[in-house]
Structure 1
Amino acid sequence: MLASPPANSSQEVLLAQKIHNYCRPGESMFLALETKSFLINICGGDNPYSYVGVEKRNRKNNIRLALSDYDAQGTYFEARNGEYTYILAETPKGKFLTVSKGTREILREPVLRGW
């Protein structure tokens, strides 16, 4: 049987430091997740209203978009940027980030952490 680390251990601090927060000061962070290529936050106030995506390889490549749709249960978030649509969805096969251009899916990555 493995013993749990003490509540104030360095392991707990390291876990807390891994949570990325790209929300603006005063915003609530509804969701923080990671895919193979991106760090993503869903930010807002009383309700979620922004999608923030940051490329892991080059954190200067980031985008902040207004949510165009979401469900109150927190299983679906959608943001649009011109002809690009960013969707975070919980499906029977797992949780995914999907990016589409028009009707063509150009990226689908499973959520590795968070949510």
Structure 2
Amino acid sequence: MNFLQSIFPHKGTFKLAFVGMVCLLFFIPLVKAEESAKEETASINKLSNNLVQLSQQKVCPSTELLPTRSFETDKYYVFICRGNQKSPLGYYVRFTKNGGTKITIPVSSKIGETYLATKGEATYVMTPYELVVTKVNRRDRVVFREKVNNVIAADGQPLARACPDGNTTFVEAETKNFIVYICGREVPDSYVAVARNGNNRIALPLQKYNSSGNMEDSQYVAVNGDIRYLLTRKLLKVSRDGRNIVKEKVLHWN
């Protein structure tokens, strides 16, 4: 925890403990893998085209500092630019889609694929999964959170984020501390969970699931050694020997 506090400059910004994780989620109608692949390719191509256009507008602080990561959310384009002597970790650059408003902030911390930048009372955290903004004057409360729709590396290739290549994402769900994906080909057969603080990732096969016609009754179970993962429509529980390690409300799913 001391290590995490040294990374995040505002105490309390992300006080989330890394706990043995993972969940299972609700079954939704099967989407063909080929259609998903086509949609993903189209999204990547769209993002790449937008990147080229924005690059012509001098996205990064100088022409030598090209983007190493490019993100797209519903409202924003975000770029992580290469660093220089003034900001060795690089720069966080964000454009609004509707008006083109731009902010540029030096990256203050980086751990894996998590980039953090601070300006005044606001802290911006960019990961391959979501964009999060917190403010000190609101006791480090999250004031903005938005899912990342696409993310590409400097070579234009998408970063691995959720389900493996060739798999369909049947479900994406969120709790306070985790983002969970249910993956598979013809049917759900695995789950992937990502910790919102630090992006620690785990993938396990499903042990069993009940995709009831009544979603309220659906539940999924996975086991990893002596740890049991249970997710229902309302609740995620991770337990060891009958004792809960994690118990969190399901906030969003699709």
- How high is the TM-score relative to the length of structure 1? 0.75
Alignment-mate amino acid for residue 14 of structure 1: D
Give 3-state SS (helix, strand or coil) of 2:235's partner.
strand
* Alignment check: 8 A CA contact 1:39 1:55 kept: yes
In 2, Cα distance between equivalents of 1:52 and 1:102: 22
2:234 is the counterpart of 1:102: no
Give the equivalent residue in structure 2 for 1:54: 194
2:143 is the counterpart of 1:83: no
Alignment-mate amino acid for residue 84 of structure 1: I
* Higher mean displacement: 71-80 or 36-45: 71-80
* Alignment check: 8 A CA contact 1:19 1:32 kept: no
Give the equivalent residue in structure 1 for 2:74: 14
CA positional deviation for 1:105:
1.4
2:168 is the counterpart of 1:31: no
Cα distance 1:112–1:19, how it changes in 2: closer, same or farther (>3 A)? farther
CA positional deviation for 1:77:
1.1
CA positional deviation for 1:72:
2.8
Higher helix share: 2
> How many residue pairs align between the two structures?
97
- How high is the TM-score relative to the length of structure 2? 0.36
Candidates 15, 18, 40, aligned match of 2:180: 40
Higher relative contact order (Cα pairs below 8 Å, separated by 6+ residues): 2
CA RMSD of aligned residues (A): 2.0
Higher strand share: 1
Q: Deviations over 1:35-94 (max 9, x none)?
A: 0000100101111110111100010x111000001013362111111001111112xxxx
2:240 is the counterpart of 1:111: no
Percent of paired sites with the same residue: 36
Give the equivalent residue in structure 2 for 1:69: 208
Structure label with greater radius of gyration:
2
Return 5+ residue gaps in structure 1 as ranges: 1-12
Return 5+ residue gaps in structure 2 as ranges: 1-72, 76-145, 150-160
Alignment-mate amino acid for residue 56 of structure 1: R
